[in-house]
Every structure is written in structure tokens, then in C-alpha cells.
Structure 1
Amino acid sequence: MARFFIQSARKTLLSSSTVSKTLIHGLQRHHGTPSIQSRNAPSTFLFQSRYYATDLITKSPFEANILRILRNEIDYQSEYAPPHQPATKFNSFTVEDRAGEQWVIMNRKSGDNEDIKIEVTMFDGLVSVPKVGDDSTGEDVRLHISVIVDISKADGSDSLEFVCSAWPDALEIHKVYVFSRDNKLARPYLGPHFRNLSGELRKTLREYLEARGVNDELSVFLHEYMMNKDRIELIRWLGNVKSFVEK
């Protein structure tokens, strides 16, 4: 149900440009190996390079050079911070990783008649922030994740949808929509921006989400999860490019 509004919802989250993988991995190289990474990565995620003499015979010098560079990059990414097996659960949520896609789906039940579905992007934005600590000169960045929370009733009635930002240490609500399953309005009224609601109502809606496990702790988990997925997808992509050139 949320899919129709995802593109417009995500545009309301940030006006910054999309985070490139070059930036993400540049940050990783600068700050060191993320704590979530395991040194014992499963072989299913790693495209180990193998050098064959036949490559130099059957491939042109240009293609052979591309393959050499790809293998070196795969080796570096695999050895620098190898990804580990993605989590399949977080508290009461099940986590469905979609290999090769930029979305992750999370599901859980709340009580006897409520279903909660969360759609989560990989890193899709950033903001600059002042550096803190001993080396406080210059700026650092905070990576952004878009989160769509859909809460529906088992009786098929209206559903409530929250459009959120997951920052490294906090969850921020931007919009709250009410959707009818049989709504045929061409342009339904989607409600005010969250910040324009009264303080009491904002607090109550945050508590409503927190009671269902959608909170700051979830944001921390998502950033760790997506940092790992980013490495998995990068290595997978490098392997796919290498396989194509090798054919």
C-alpha cells in the first residue's frame, strides 16, 4: 500500500544528493573497520579472485587489465572489512534481506489484530555536522536511511503509515498518513508535516511507534545492518561485473 507514495515521501526527507558508494567506502577507509564487521565472513558473500594464465591468452590487454583491477578491488574489499551473515531478526521483527536490491523489509505482529511492516532503504543521503572529540576541526557526515512504517489492522480497515528518517542514533518522524484500502481519491489529503503538529500530539505519536518497537534502538540496528549490506552489495556487484567481462 505504501509503495505508491514512497517516491514522494522520500523526497520530503532530504534535499541532499544520493550517497555514493565511493563516499561510504571512503568514510570506512578513513575511520577504520566498522565494529559490526566480522573477520570470518561466509564464502557466499565473497567473490574470491583467481588468476588464470588463460586470461592473458584469451582476453585483450584492455580486458585483462579490467579483470586485474576488479580482482584487486574484490580482494581489498573482502579482506579490509569482510561482511558477515546478515541478521534475520531484530527483537520481535523478522528481517527480509533482498539480495541485489536497495530495500529491506521488516515485519512483526502487535497484539492479535495488528500487522507492522517496515520498508527500509540503504543509505540514501547525508548531512554535514561539526566534528567532535579531540580532533574537532572540520566537518563529519551523518548518513541517512529512509524508513516507511505501515501499521494495518487484521479487519482490513484503514492503515497508518509513518515516513521516517533513521539517523545513526535516532529515529525522526516526518509525516503520518492514513490510508483506506478502498480509497479511490485521486489526490487524497495526506495530513500536515509532523513538525507542524502540537508538541503533545508529536510526543504521543512517537510513543505510539516506540510501543511497537520502532525507536532509536531500531535506527542503531539499521545503520549497522546497512553498513554490512553495503559491503555485501558492493562485492556482489564487483563480482557480477567481473563475470560479465570474463564471458
Structure 2
Amino acid sequence: MGTTSRLLLRRSSRMLANRDGGLLRALRSELEHELSSNPPRSGPRDGKVGNFAVDWDDAKTQDLVLRRRFDSGEEIALSALLGPLIYEGKDPLPRHALMKVFVKKPEPEPILQFDCTVFHQDQEEDSEFVIENVKYLASADPSRSSRYRGPSFSCLDPDLQDAFKDYLVDRGVNAELTNFLLLHLRQKEQDQYLNWLHGLENFLKSGV
């Protein structure tokens, strides 16, 4: 490459760096804001949440899985991830969590599945969960399971709805657990956002 070409390349690189500098400054400002307003939090120290053990919690994924096994042989698997953003006007509301709870007796089948939503009615109070659906799966194999999974949960007698919720609370799906889910999942998403910002910052720094 000739001298003139090298000079033109350097000049072009400096011009690009100057243009990227504005984005880099904006990224760093956003990073500083997020780090100051959302200090890092640690997860469960011993890998347990109440009576549940953390079975899956990859930092690169959005979900986590908890499990609990009883001496009777009954087993509960619980998975959760954040629900979609919902806005009130232009302001985003606090994220809720989508939680699935699977209850299995010692036999390999059937399985009872609960589809739930976890939310904070008031940020100063404990979180709550509501059951959206209850499904009785005669078999874990969809091709063998009955197509009829049960009626709409909201159509059940209110006493039966309450009894289903008490059934889960008795098995440890309580405020301590749901508080952890919301806090941990939101922090997990926050960590992923910070990593994304750091990645962009490093990309832009390489050309400045």
C-alpha cells in the first residue's frame, strides 16, 4: 500500500472514531447510570431457595429451574422467566414472572401442571401468585396424553380455586419463593443488559 493510501486510511479511521465517540460516551453514561442505580446482587449462597434446590440457572438464559423432592417420592419442578414488558402510558410497569409448577407422584405419570403469574401488587409488600391454568397430564408424552386438560381455571368454583393455591403453598410455593423469583429474574436480565452494554463499549473502543 502506498503512502497516500495509508494516509487516507488513517484519516478515514480517525473520522470514524470521532463519529463513534458520541455513541461511546452515551454508552458509558448509560453504564454508569445502570451500575449506580442497580447495584449487583448475589444469588442463593447454598444453591437453595427455601426447600427448593436450584437445578438450572445459566447466566446466558432468561429462565431458571428449581426442584424439590419429598421423602414420599413426590417431586416438584418449577420453572420461571420474566413476562413481556407492559406499559402504563409511556411508563413501563414492574415486570411480572411466568411460572410453571409440575407436581409428580412417585410413579412416572401422570403429572399435574400449574401455569401461574407472579407479581407485586405493591412494591412494599410481598409478591403474590395467581394460577391461570391447571392441567392434568395423564402422560408426559403429548401423543399419549388426553386432549382434554381441564376446564378454564377461572370457571372453577372459588373454593376449589383457593384449594388449588393452598395445595401449592403447602408444598413451598410461598412468598419467600416468589419474592426470590422476581428479584432474581429481574437482576438476571439486568446483568445481561450490562453485559450487552459492555460488549458494545469494547466494540467501539477498539476503533477509538
TM-score normalised by the shorter chain: which range applies? 0.7 to 0.9
Q: Give the 3-state SS of the residue equivalent to 2:181 in structure 1.
A: helix
Q: Give the 3-state SS of the residue equivalent to 1:192 in structure 2.
A: coil
2:74 alignment partner, one of 111, 114, 118: 114
2:29 pairs with 1:72? yes
Which residue pairs with 2:117 in the alignment? 165
**For the Cα contact (< 8 Å) 1:126–1:144, is it kept in 2?**
no
Q: Which whole-Å deviations, capped at 9, do the CAs of 1:112-142 have from their partners, x for residues lacking one?
A: 31221111112424475xxxxxxxxxx9945
2:160 alignment partner, one of 170, 184, 201: 201
The AA in structure 2 aligned to 1:215 is N
Name stretches of at least 5 consecutive residues in structure 2 with no aligned partner: 1-12, 121-126
**For the Cα contact (< 8 Å) 2:62–2:185, is it kept in 1?**
no
Distance change in 2, residues 1:187/1:152 (3 Å): closer
The AA in structure 2 aligned to 1:155 is E
Q: Give the 3-state SS of the residue equivalent to 2:42 in structure 1.
A: coil
Aligned length: 182
Q: How far, CA to CA, are the matches of 2:18 and 2:87 in structure 1?
A: 42
Q: How far, CA to CA, are the matches of 2:58 and 2:196 in structure 1?
A: 14
RMSD (Å), alpha carbons: 2.7
**For the Cα contact (< 8 Å) 1:67–1:242, is it kept in 2?**
yes
Map of 1:1-247 to 2, 5 A cutoff? Answer: 60-87=17-44, 88-95=47-54, 96-126=56-86, 141-168=93-120, 169-179=127-137, 180-185=139-144, 188-246=147-205
Name stretches of at least 5 consecutive residues in structure 1 with no aligned partner: 1-55, 129-138
**For the Cα contact (< 8 Å) 1:159–1:178, is it kept in 2?**
yes
The AA in structure 2 aligned to 1:63 is D
The AA in structure 2 aligned to 1:229 is K
Distance change in 2, residues 1:196/1:241 (3 Å): same
The AA in structure 2 aligned to 1:205 is F
Distance change in 2, residues 1:70/1:127 (3 Å): closer
**For the Cα contact (< 8 Å) 1:125–1:145, is it kept in 2?**
no
Q: Give the 3-state SS of the residue equivalent to 1:116 in structure 2.
A: strand
Distance change in 2, residues 1:106/1:84 (3 Å): same
Q: CA deviation at 1:175?
A: 0.4
Q: How far, CA to CA, are the matches of 1:89 and 1:65 in structure 2?
A: 44
Distance change in 2, residues 1:142/1:75 (3 Å): closer
The AA in structure 1 aligned to 2:105 is K
Distance change in 2, residues 1:59/1:84 (3 Å): farther
Q: CA deviation at 1:215?
A: 2.7
**For the Cα contact (< 8 Å) 2:50–2:177, is it kept in 1?**
no
Rg larger in structure: 2
Which residue pairs with 2:5 in the alignment? none
Q: Give the 3-state SS of the residue equivalent to 2:77 in structure 1.
A: strand
Structure 1: which 4+ aligned runs deviate by more than 6 Å? Answer: none
The AA in structure 1 aligned to 2:27 is L
Q: Give the 3-state SS of the residue equivalent to 2:96 in structure 1.
A: strand
Which residue pairs with 1:53 in the alignment? none
Q: CA deviation at 1:235?
A: 0.8
- TM-score calculated relative to the size of structure 2: 0.75
**For the Cα contact (< 8 Å) 2:85–2:93, is it kept in 1?**
no
Q: How far, CA to CA, are the matches of 1:228 and 1:140 in structure 2?
A: 16
Q: CA deviation at 1:64?
A: 2.9
